Structure 1
């Protein structure tokens, strides 16, 4: 039986308290996993802060080369894993079985992490404003005649990670290139990516003492958040709400990403159906950067009808199918809960499930023992409707008709907004809107990521603070 031990500062540790990771279809036990108690995590974090000083002896050129080597090992190699070794093919099989993600999506997320690790030199240059690496290494210097100094804000970066989106591991790996140790809490059903990544780093020669991974409970995750000087957390609003106002914490919650159609282009709305479809459906519709609402000044019903017809063509398929585009739910009760929440919303007057009249079967569907939610599009009469601004972990979106001048008065927190317009005045208003994190002007899918730009915050600025510094000659 495969057993996944804790990784305590690079050393494997088997605890008495363990959990089982099962195949979501059959209940077969895939592996057992050691669980860390909160006190052990706190002890290790407090005792391991000196490792940061050891990492500062490495140059960024050295850590970047290690990251590039780790990228190749993570993607292609059979490497040590837990109490055995693991091939990429075994990784994909285990991850798909425990999470419900199709195997082709598991591979795509491996490619995404590999790309980020391989291109970290350019990513760090971009996020730091092209500061010379020698200034980051020493903490101060002069560039283009301007004195620059950075104060390191963390001796360790903690991360409480999800079970449903392996691609997010691209967000914490740059910290290792920046010589900041990591303390990770993996998702209960998806320990595969963080553990494989950390083993790849160790094989690449990265100092193992800087690498920790603690499967644990809610209290253990809280201790990682409390005792690491900087931390990031992933989850729904109920999970991340506690940390929203803590400046030490980078919060990755629901996105409420949107596509806004401008008055100047809406007569040609058919030209933008590919953008709308991709924004809703890419990566199984599970990401915070998938579109959960489409706002248009007119033709709302026509847009909803045309998009719904395309969405229902994506059907549940076996997770081994090379064309599978929908993820199953590892717990069918979650799918049933979401389905019920949508039906309750539909009981409020002013909403119609447009996909219902076109799709085959019910919204909840079982395929080869996996439970899926079929793509769903709701047309609502106004933004006040309870389904107008909801986000679920499957392809779900609403279409709302409202005047363009009301859109920015109405909009609330939105991770990504794609605004399709050629109106320079409205483009200027959009660029100044404080509720929009990432802004796309033009027909760009909300899920298209430019890794050379910040995503829910700039990790370099999160880990390093610009400060005044003077030194006598």
Structure 2
């Protein structure tokens, strides 16, 4: 049994209230200390009293921590032991966890440079720059303490808060109780690399203290569903990270058969659990042949335990898998099933089950199912016509479009609710460090002010 202490402003803290974290077979793996509201409040106060690490020191320390996170023994675990623990508990294919580990290492090595991509070209990074003698914009933090309510669906979400740390924020992470191993390991590595205990903290809490952490931070980022987005939509200091509802558009005249590899990777890559995985494919013309071909490809994916090197699909407890299956079957009522119409659960006979892919055809691009994002490869195939325009494509994090129409591309790029547009054979789950995911985080963290001296 691993013991995951909270990591507070005076060091590790083992609380009386602890939660047991099981793997997907129900076997206990770790205990997680849950901090009370008063402890969380005092931790936030301590971070407000602290000062940022000098810029060159923190850039080097973040890079050292990223390397240790990916390659060395940290908090009592080797990198391989950490990866196998996350795979077992989160039900994520081991190859996906390994890739996420490499991604976090790379993000740590370039966190400061990447956040600078959001800096206006007319701004400098410090008031001492000689250009401020004639008056110049200076890029400054919007606060001192940043809090994040982290998601547990993928380890790579923890790349994001390295950027506020790089520009001098002190950072408080409230981890997901589903997967606290990644932030615990990363913060342990950061502290070993030179960050003080009052610079970056891990505050596992129950819901009673969660809002207090956000309230006491200058800025915050929260992951969750539509309810979370609605709750914080009116809070200028909080950045909600909700469902992606990523999509693929196939217009007439394009060879959709050549796009099958892109569609399948978009739907199932990384286990199909991310906000960048495609949840809908809109087809100009008859969607049935596309649905049949996609279903045929996804049906061939194997059902394997998450630790298997060939695993692709996510694993849940059998009970949780049955709940998702029931939810899908109710959600899909009235649609045409091509895959998963009678169920998606593949029992592994050890208390866990694989969630297999689902493909359903709907009769309209405005069908409510098109916006249904589920934590496994699930895609809704819909018809689309030019007269429908961009309306069915709104509120999309990533859109991969197969089209040669310049006017349509203009409309897609100019639509403010479409986050990213990929043209042609680029899957929706393609990500490149240094490019905006859901806009640059630096746009939220920083502001410009004129300095004249």
Q: Same fold (TM over 0.5)?
A: yes
Secondary structure in structure 2 of the residue aligned to 1:443: coil
**Aligned position for 1:436:** 418
Question: CA RMSD for the aligned pairs?
Answer: 2.2
Structure 1 gaps, min length 5: none
CA distance in 2, matches of 1:337, 1:407: 36
TM-score, normalised via structure 1 length = 0.90
1:183, 1:214 within 8 Å by CA — same for their partners in 2? yes
Moved more, 230-239 or 334-343: 334-343
Distance 1:425 1:198, change over 3 A: same
TM-fit CA distance, 1:208: 2.9
SS in 1 for 2:346: strand
1:2 aligns with 2:37: no
User: 1:336 deviation in Å?
Assistant: 2.2
CA distance 1:189–1:389, shift in 2 (3 Å): closer
Matches within 5 A, 1:56-67: 58-59=54-55, 61-67=56-62
- Residues 139 and 151 in structure 1, CA contact (< 8 A), matched pair in contact too: no
Which position in structure 1 is the counterpart of 2:217?
228
Q: Which residue of the partner structure matches residue 326 of structure 1?
A: 313
Aligned pairs for 1:12-161 (under 5 A) are: 12-25=12-25, 27-51=26-50, 53-55=51-53, 58-59=54-55, 61-79=56-74, 81=75, 85-129=76-120, 135-138=124-127, 142=131, 147-161=136-150
Q: Is 1:390 aligned to 2:372, yes or no? A: yes
Instruction: Work out the CA distance in 2 between the residues paired with 1:10 and 1:271.
Output: 57
Q: What secondary structure sits across from 1:15 in the alignment?
A: coil
On the 8 A contact 2:221/2:240 being kept in 1, the answer is yes
- Contact 1:67/1:201 (<8 A) preserved: yes
State yes or no: 1:300 paired with 2:287: yes
Equivalent residue of 1:48, what SS?
Answer: helix
Give, in whole Å, the separation in 2 of the partners of 1:390 and 1:277: 18
Q: Kindly state the Cα deviation for residue 29 of structure 1 after the two structures are TM-superposed.
A: 2.1
Structure 2 contact 363–383 (Cα < 8 Å) conserved: yes
* Structure 2 match to 1:181: 170
Aligned-partner Cα distance in 1 for 2:348–2:127: 56
Return the offset for 1:303: 0.7
SS of structure 1 residue aligned to 2:390: helix
Residue of structure 1 in register with 2:339 after alignment? 355
Shift of 1:130: 6.2
**Kept in 1: contact 2:282–2:365 (CA 8 A):** no
Report if the CA contact (8 A) 2:394-2:415 is conserved. Answer: no
Distance in structure 1 (CA, Å) of the matches to 2:338 and 2:130: 60
Indicate the residue corresponding to 2:385 in structure 1.
403
Per-residue CA deviations over 1:266-314 (Å, capped at 9, x if unaligned) read: 3x11111111111111100000010001111113111111111001111
Q: Which residue of 1 aligns with 2:301?
A: 314
SS in 1 for 2:364: coil
Q: Is the 8 A contact 1:127 1:453 kept in 2?
A: no
Instruction: Show structure 2 runs of 5+ residues with no match.
Output: none
Report the number of matched residues: 452
Q: How does 1:449-464 map to 2 (within 5 A)?
A: 449-464=431-446
